[in-house]
Structure 1
Amino acid sequence: MKTYSPKPEEITHEWFVVDAEDKILGRLATEIATRLRGKHKAEFAPHVDCGDFVVVINAEKIKVTGNKLDQKMYYHHTGYPGGIREASLKVMLEKKPEDVIIKAVRGMLPKNRLSTQLLAKLKVYAGPEHPHTAQQPKPLDF
């Protein structure tokens, strides 16, 4: 018996919508990363994009445990000497709540060329509205 390897044209990508209201950030991100990667499917292959599209709404209403709102910091460097910038989770949720979920999911995806394709299938919106109703996404509960 030969080992089955899925071809990219044989894979069907479904659409799911996730309501992030009152969900814990890390637990939500692990489920989203699993769906994006396609590990929930029987025909999963690590070298092929087998995952589904995930639309996240209400990103501004996520929850975190402990003192992470004040203690968790996000860093980036501008490229100039002394250009390190930091922002707490509270500040990030006020400015761009979509980036908090995207950064959490990005850290859970593989560090290779496939991660760019996988992350492109993640659509995150701060409020309850999204423009992907034409794809008829199914609600996904965790």
Structure 2
Amino acid sequence: MKTYTAKPAEVENKWIVVDAEDAVVGRLAAFVATRLRGKHRPDFTPHVDTGDHVVVINADKIRFTGNKLGDKRYYRHTGHPGGIKETSPEKILRSQHPERVVELAVKRMLPKDSPLARTQFSKLRVYAGAEHPHEAQQPEAIDFKSMNSKNVRS
């Protein structure tokens, strides 16, 4: 018996919507990264994009456990000597683009810097509010909060 390998033309991608209100960031990011990679499917192939399109709504109402909201640090470098910059999730959530907290968490759970990872990450859409413009794709609503009691933080 031969091992099945998915072909890019045979893959059918679904659309799902996940509500991030009161959800824990790391658990949500792990769930979303698994769906984007396609590891939930029986025909998962590591070198083929078999994942789904994921729409995350209410990203501005996401929760952190413990003191991570103020203590966690995100670092980036400008490319110039001494150009390291840092910020916290609290500052990002108060800024103009609070959805970047979820995007950063998911991006860091995908494979590092490859064309496949960039393609998979491009299928993620994150919105700060409850509205999204993807109703025409008829996305399936996934109740992430009821999967495990630890997924929600009040």
TM-score range, shorter chain: over 0.9
Q: Tell me, what secondary structure is at the counterpart of 1:75?
A: strand
1:118-137 superposed matches below 5 A: 118-137=120-139
Deviation at 1:118, TM superposition (A): 0.4
Equivalent residue letter for 1:133: E
Where does the alignment leave 5 or more consecutive residues of structure 2 unmatched?
Answer: 145-154
Q: What do you get for the CA RMSD once the two structures are aligned?
A: 0.9
Aligned partner of 2:115 in structure 1 is 113
Please give the alpha-carbon distance, in whole angstroms, between the structure 1 residues aligned to 2:70 and 2:99.
Answer: 18
Aligned partner of 1:40 in structure 2 is 40
Deviation at 1:80, TM superposition (A): 2.0
Deviation at 1:82, TM superposition (A): 2.1
Q: What TM-score does the superposition give when structure 2 sets the normalisation length?
A: 0.89
Equivalent residue letter for 1:58: N
Instruction: Please list the CA deviations of residues 32-71 of structure 1 after superposition, one character each: whole Å capped at 9, or x if unmatched.
Output: 0010011111100111000000000000000110001110
Deviation at 1:25, TM superposition (A): 0.1
Q: What TM-score does the superposition give when structure 1 sets the normalisation length?
A: 0.97
Q: Tell me, what secondary structure is at the counterpart of 1:65?
A: coil
Seq. identity, %: 60
Q: Between Structure 1 and Structure 2, how many residues are aligned?
A: 142
Q: Tell me, what secondary structure is at the counterpart of 2:9?
A: helix
Where does the alignment leave 5 or more consecutive residues of structure 1 unmatched?
Answer: none
Q: Tell me, what secondary structure is at the counterpart of 1:18?
A: strand
Equivalent residue letter for 1:129: E
Aligned partner of 2:58 in structure 1 is 58
Q: Tell me, what secondary structure is at the counterpart of 1:80?
A: coil
Q: Tell me, what secondary structure is at the counterpart of 1:8?
A: coil
Equivalent residue letter for 1:118: Q
Task: Find out whether 1:16 has 2:22 as its counterpart.
Answer: no
- Structure 1 runs, 4 residues or longer, greater than 6 Å off: none
Equivalent residue letter for 1:11: V
Deviation at 1:75, TM superposition (A): 1.2
